[in-house]
Structure 1
Amino acid sequence: MSNRPDILWPLFGDLTKLSGIGPKSAQVLEKAGIEKPKDLLFTLPYAGVDRKLRPSINAVSAPGMATVEVLIGTHQAPSGRGRPYRVFVEDVETEFQLVFFHARSDYLRKELPTGQKRVVSGKIELFDGLAQMVHPDHMVTRDVVDTIPEFEPVYPLHGGLTQKAMFKATRDAVDMSPDLEEWIDPGLFAQEKWPSWKSAVQAIHSPTCDADLMAESPARTRLAYDELFAHQLTLALARAVERRGKGRTSVGTSALQRKVLENLPYSPTGAQVRAVAEIAEDMAKPKRMNRLLQGDVGSGKTLVAFQALLIAVEAGGQGALMAPTEILARQHLEGLQPLAEEAGVVLELLTGRDKGAERRAKLAALKEGHIQILVGTHAVFQKDVKFNDLRLAIVDEQHRFGVAQRMELSAKGQGADMLVMTATPIPRSLSLAQYGDMDVSVLDEKPPGRKPVTTALVSTGRIDEVVDHLRKAVQEGKQAYWVCPLVEESEVSDLIASEQRFKHLRAALGEGVVGLVHGQMPPNEKDAAMAQFIAGDTQVLVATTVIEVGVNVPNASIMVIERAEHFGLAQLHQLRGRVGRGAEKSTCLLMYQAPLTEGGKRRLEILRETEDGFRISEEDLAMRGAGDLIGTAQSGLPRFRIADIERQTGLMALAQSDARKLLHDDPKLESPRGMAARVLLWLMEQDKSIRLISVG
């Protein structure tokens, strides 16, 4: 299956084969990402022009589009330089003028002979009370009036291309579209009353009214579904290949897990119990697990992760937990060490800092199997790190990676199960687009004892009050974060830099009370500053957003975010999640610079209203759009031409279940519907996924 099916060749041919497209126009289109007829098919009209034939221009209120049959009267040549050429015409009710600038009179006399009838179509405008049509879009004889579409599609234009050229070229592309066998599930196809693929393509490029241009029209919905289905089929194939990789059966005895749970001061939430059960069930199967654990700030992912690691150890193997930064890896270590001691399990940390004899000793112990659980940064996956029997690899905050990196990662684990954790609640539509190859467990309850955080909005004008409030809190032994948006004073920006703020607070609160941590610091200084704050040696930590993910200081109960309007919703929610972890009542102050934009105001109000990360992420998506939400560059999100993942979540979910079912029933896509689905993958240029079928 390495060659494109013959039936699709015309759609992948040369653009210059289409009428109206010469080498120059082809170059213009290629710059806009339209390289072949297939790309034109998926360049949809965004508006339409009503060109129905009317008896008279009186039926149209100016300025408006009119198509009428007229009797050609006299021609009036320009009366001087820069003046227009005019042709007087009349329809059955009234007279008006056709107006041309820089026109060739011989051409116009030939096209519009006095005393004859023509159908003209263009925009009617009033000029000094007189009706005129400047440069009609169409001028034809009555017998070829059907070359003017009654409702003409309007396409996005690029570099000098005209609507006429786009219209002609897309007609040709539509004409060369083959009839393709149906790849949509027959039940779904009948239920949705969708047109066939070819009819959908024809309908999209020949709209008859505004409703046909809407995303909800049957033709557009069908083509959007095809796009999502091809994407989900690719993810499902990746998932199937990954699962075919020899997994290990890891069945826990529950003995170690029981020890840990007996020593917990509280009971796990229902969501935690459910997630652990789902993971245990996956690990017990011979196929590889590929699961996403999604939990909001403070939903107790650490406990779930640790229980999963214990299943690997109970089954006689090893587990690894990786974090994106050293600070977070150390924090995982501190959080898990006491639990590991209760269970009697050997837990070690491996980071880029381990050098020489110490590193060699750790690697030897790991290879011998003496280290049962390894916590570390991505250094865990360097070549010389060898496990004795790795059963489970957990990756924390992996939303920075796409599907390809996840596959590389799991390849290293000799059949190890994969669990990816994220504290960023992702709206359902995006998690399907980005993690559609994974099974998902969601922690949607907070463990008992998490206190709600009071969120308040304060304008920067009241900063002195905030500092006074902080002084009192510090005297009572409380700890606080103060988050600044930028690192050093920049002239362009009036954002107060962390260095400046640090000096200001140190002067106000006293030497030794305030620490500073920002992205430009050497890692050892950063860690030292964090360590002092965690130990309570400093009480206020001035920071840039390096503290956003996962930092845990239970005594910190105040979070001040300066210029909060410059942060995204999800980021603000993550930052707020750093407080409210201990016994103290916690506060989050969002300091903003007035006046706020509508969007800025809405963001801060949503935060004041709710602490539900999933609701916040849905709002964030609605306000910002998918690309911005996770930064398109590293998001691993596909680019869709027709589908809109923000508004068509339901369609995406449908495509996912349909793709998984098709592969379950027909893993090698050999049935008639399977073969049709292969054609779809070629059509959507998912060549990689076609290679995945052949791997099977």
Structure 2
Amino acid sequence: MTTTPDLHALPVGKLKGVSASKAEALHALGIATAADLLEYYPFRYEDYRIRNLTEVKDGEKITVQGTVMSVPALQRYGRGKARLSCRVTIERWLVTAVWFNRAFLKDQLTVGREIVLTGKWDQRRKQLTVTESEFADKAGGRAGSLQPVYSITGSLTQSWMRRCIEQALEQLGGYIEEVLPGDLLTRHRLMARREAIRRIHTPEDTREGQEARRRLVYEELFLFQLKLHAYRQVTRSRMDGVAHAIDNEAVLAFAAALPFELTDGQKKVTNEILRDMREPYAMNRLLQGDVGSGKTVVAAIALFATVKSGHQGALMVPTEILAEQHLRSLQGLFAPLGIEVALLVGGMPARRRRDALAGLQMGMTDIVVGTHALIQEDVAFRSLGLVVTDEQHRFGVSQRSILRRKGMNPDVLTMTATPIPRTLAITAFGDMDVSTIRERPQGRRPIRTYWVKHELMDRVLGFIRREAAAGRQAYIICPLIEESDKLDVQNAIDVHVQIQQAFPDLRIGLLHGRMSAAEKEEAMRAFGAGELHALVSTTVVEVGVDVPNATLMVVMDAERFGLSQLHQLRGRVGRGAHQSYCVLVADPKSETGQERMRVMTETDDGFEVARRDLELRGPGDFFGTKQSGLPEFRLADMSSDFGVLETARDDAAELVGRADFWRDETYAPLRERLSRAQIFEGDVLD
């Protein structure tokens, strides 16, 4: 009795025609097993289908069939170089076919022999510069086919890769197992898996290749979404989170005592968060909103509810400046209520750090605000109930996971002021519930944004002078700290000197990442207190810094920044009652850089900026970090396949919510896939 081979366990080196050196080259591409090889899909096709000359444009690549009509002429020139040419009839045309460095073909090009030519067509000369040719009387050629093109490196060639995959299909294609349930195949009119894998490698025509790709893209996105939804189902079924006893009256009183009324959006997301916190499973929620939409207040209400239910809260932020600002604002809110808020950052004196650690461990500290210092080994909590991470894409996946494990599966709220396009929210944060604040607090005016060239810098200086004369303040942002030979960009130290020289009567501050914690704190304190007219800074002010009297944001060499980063910087102004402005000083050479400037001047809606940023940069670069958790898909493209993603997500959610999914034999292959991905073994998706 022959056993069915497990394609996921069969080493690629065991396949016919794969030597040890070729196996090593395949491993470098991430191909370790037979399944990996069969699922290594082409990224495009070479079209060798025979066409008529009347269909082709000048300079286009074409494959045609004709008859040799003249004895070939061979010209040798240079060292080992040759030009071979002959006349060929193609349909009713007599054309010249030219080969370079193919002298060996001379004796084979006999008059009257049928030949298939692929090359570039020169309409004026009636000449075809041949890149590939084959004789019609020889079997096994490419003529009339679409040939797959694979991403390859090293010693691998396209012809070897094609032959290797064809042999693997012939040898093992019959063992490819279906993973999608029959009802989904029927509902979406999808090819069987075995057929789709065969057809994506060897399509008869474009339509067949497209149908194969459609099936496999759906499968890829469906399996990914199934993993996320099964994970959520499993973790929620454990009921091992913190079920907060929310004191509704206390929360309402706290919100009513705030110096402003919450917007409808803030009230809505607060209710969503508190509803989750009451449940016995661990909350995993993303709170997104544009800059200045009031996410921090929502987080403060959630932290207040945590403390009132007898637990501790932690707020992790990416920079010490932001941690110190959050500390001051939270102490202002909580000190009158007897709630103890502490700071934990890397630059603290040893004694203050020891006191902070003791306060957390003994439960004397209710809320801690900190940077990545919160996840160090010696940090322990008495009863951690809620973890809030601000600007979460700046933390690696593992960093968030460590903080979560410092409690008994605490609730997690992650916040971002980089509005995430729906595509990426479903993809990168599919294991989270998403809350969105769309409106801005009342009284916030749109920020007027201008793009100017460097030669208009005198007008920009005049703008700074006018705002200072009106009692307002300005930020001047530079991409680098010191002069660099590599990049011809403004730098904070030089610009600080230039601005001081331009305004000897004004107080100009300087802030950058290489200053000590005390120096940075003093610069921000002085700016926040209105003691400085302007602050020259690097992007350390990008996230969360809140100075309502600052009304002008000047960004030097703005083309060096991404769209989302420019929008974040713009969000540092417009936080008070006065009209605010953003001036982008840039001379972008690239079309992308010019498009960024156009987007910034056309809209100050963060969701629209994020959508345009995704179009310009693509999903892989959107977060500006490799630790963003975005999956690498073999076939799916987040821009063009978004409709398929939404369908796959709905199908996966519906399926895992059914009782028969977890026990019926029909779904055994899917459960096996989830088991292989260790979905049932713990907190693996974080």
TM interval, shorter chain, is 0.7 to 0.9
Which residue is 1:450 aligned to?
A: 444
Match of 1:623 among 595, 616, 619: 616
| Structure 1 residues 119 and 27: alpha-carbon distance in aligned structure 2, compared to 1, 3 A threshold | farther
The reply to whether residue 287 of structure 1 matches residue 286 of structure 2 is no
Which residue is 1:191 aligned to?
A: 187
Contact 1:320 1:375 in 2 (8 A): yes
Which residue is 2:253 aligned to?
A: 259
Amino acid at match of 2:655: L
- TM-score, normalization: structure 1? 0.86
In the TM superposition, residue 553 of structure 1 has moved relative to its aligned partner by 0.8
Which residue is 1:494 aligned to?
A: 488
Greater shift in the superposed pair: 536-545 or 186-195: 186-195
Show CA shifts across 1:328-364 (max 9, x none). Answer: 1111122222221454433333333444554444444
- TM-score, normalization: structure 2? 0.87
Amino acid at match of 1:574: Q
| Structure 1 residues 632 and 349: alpha-carbon distance in aligned structure 2, compared to 1, 3 A threshold | closer
The reply to whether residue 203 of structure 1 matches residue 203 of structure 2 is no
Contact 1:73 1:88 in 2 (8 A): yes
Structure 1: gaps (5+ residues)? none
Q: Distance in 2 between matches of 1:584 and 1:262?
A: 26
In the TM superposition, residue 547 of structure 1 has moved relative to its aligned partner by 0.3
How do 1:150-189 residues align onto structure 2 when only pairs under 5 Å count? 150-156=145-151, 158=153, 162-175=157-170, 176-178=172-174, 180-184=176-180, 186-189=182-185
Contact 1:99 1:135 in 2 (8 A): no
Contact 1:51 1:152 in 2 (8 A): no
Greater shift in the superposed pair: 540-549 or 323-332: 323-332
| Structure 1 residues 76 and 542: alpha-carbon distance in aligned structure 2, compared to 1, 3 A threshold | closer
Which residue is 1:663 aligned to?
A: 656
Q: CA RMSD in A?
A: 3.6
| Structure 1 residues 59 and 422: alpha-carbon distance in aligned structure 2, compared to 1, 3 A threshold | closer
Which residue is 2:521 aligned to?
A: 527
Amino acid at match of 1:250: H
Which residue is 1:352 aligned to?
A: 346
Amino acid at match of 2:607: F
Q: Distance in 2 between matches of 1:506 and 1:352?
A: 32
| Structure 1 residues 400 and 229: alpha-carbon distance in aligned structure 2, compared to 1, 3 A threshold | farther
In the TM superposition, residue 385 of structure 1 has moved relative to its aligned partner by 3.0
Greater shift in the superposed pair: 225-234 or 555-564: 225-234
| Structure 1 residues 314 and 6: alpha-carbon distance in aligned structure 2, compared to 1, 3 A threshold | farther
Contact 2:383 2:407 in 1 (8 A): no
Q: Distance in 1 between matches of 2:638 and 2:363?
A: 45
Q: Distance in 1 between matches of 2:142 and 2:346?
A: 70
Contact 1:50 1:151 in 2 (8 A): yes
Contact 1:320 1:394 in 2 (8 A): yes
Counterpart secondary structure, 2:393:
coil
| Structure 1 residues 322 and 64: alpha-carbon distance in aligned structure 2, compared to 1, 3 A threshold | closer
Q: Distance in 2 between matches of 1:559 and 1:131?
A: 60
How do 1:200-599 residues align onto structure 2 when only pairs under 5 Å count? 200-212=196-208, 217-240=210-233, 242-243=235-236, 244=238, 246-510=240-504, 513-593=507-587, 596-599=589-592
The reply to whether residue 648 of structure 1 matches residue 646 of structure 2 is no
Which residue is 1:68 aligned to?
A: 65
Greater shift in the superposed pair: 596-605 or 148-157: 148-157
Which residue is 1:609 aligned to?
A: 602
In the TM superposition, residue 633 of structure 1 has moved relative to its aligned partner by 2.4
Match of 1:44 among 35, 42, 45: 42
Show CA shifts across 1:385-406 (max 9, x none). Answer: 3322221111111112454443
Contact 1:296 1:424 in 2 (8 A): yes
Greater shift in the superposed pair: 486-495 or 387-396: 486-495
Amino acid at match of 1:49: D
In the TM superposition, residue 479 of structure 1 has moved relative to its aligned partner by 1.2
Q: Distance in 2 between matches of 1:694 and 1:296?
A: 30
Q: Distance in 2 between matches of 1:9 and 1:126?
A: 48
Q: Distance in 2 between matches of 1:173 and 1:390?
A: 54
In the TM superposition, residue 141 of structure 1 has moved relative to its aligned partner by 2.6
Amino acid at match of 1:184: L
Greater shift in the superposed pair: 654-663 or 477-486: 654-663
Q: Distance in 2 between matches of 1:246 and 1:660?
A: 22
Match of 1:137 among 123, 133, 156: 133
In the TM superposition, residue 163 of structure 1 has moved relative to its aligned partner by 4.2
Q: Distance in 1 between matches of 2:684 and 2:456?
A: 65
Which residue is 2:118 aligned to?
A: 122
Show CA shifts across 1:646-696 (max 9, x none). Answer: 3222322333343344334369955334322255569xxx7454755999x
Contact 2:447 2:581 in 1 (8 A): yes
In the TM superposition, residue 164 of structure 1 has moved relative to its aligned partner by 3.4
Counterpart secondary structure, 1:558:
strand
Contact 2:375 2:399 in 1 (8 A): no
Contact 2:678 2:684 in 1 (8 A): no
In the TM superposition, residue 86 of structure 1 has moved relative to its aligned partner by 6.7
Q: Distance in 2 between matches of 1:561 and 1:384?
A: 40
Equivalenced residue count is 677
Show CA shifts across 1:89-121 (max 9, x none). Answer: 77886777776666686x976x77x68865545
In the TM superposition, residue 186 of structure 1 has moved relative to its aligned partner by 4.6
| Structure 1 residues 508 and 233: alpha-carbon distance in aligned structure 2, compared to 1, 3 A threshold | same
In the TM superposition, residue 603 of structure 1 has moved relative to its aligned partner by 1.3
In the TM superposition, residue 533 of structure 1 has moved relative to its aligned partner by 1.0
In the TM superposition, residue 268 of structure 1 has moved relative to its aligned partner by 1.1
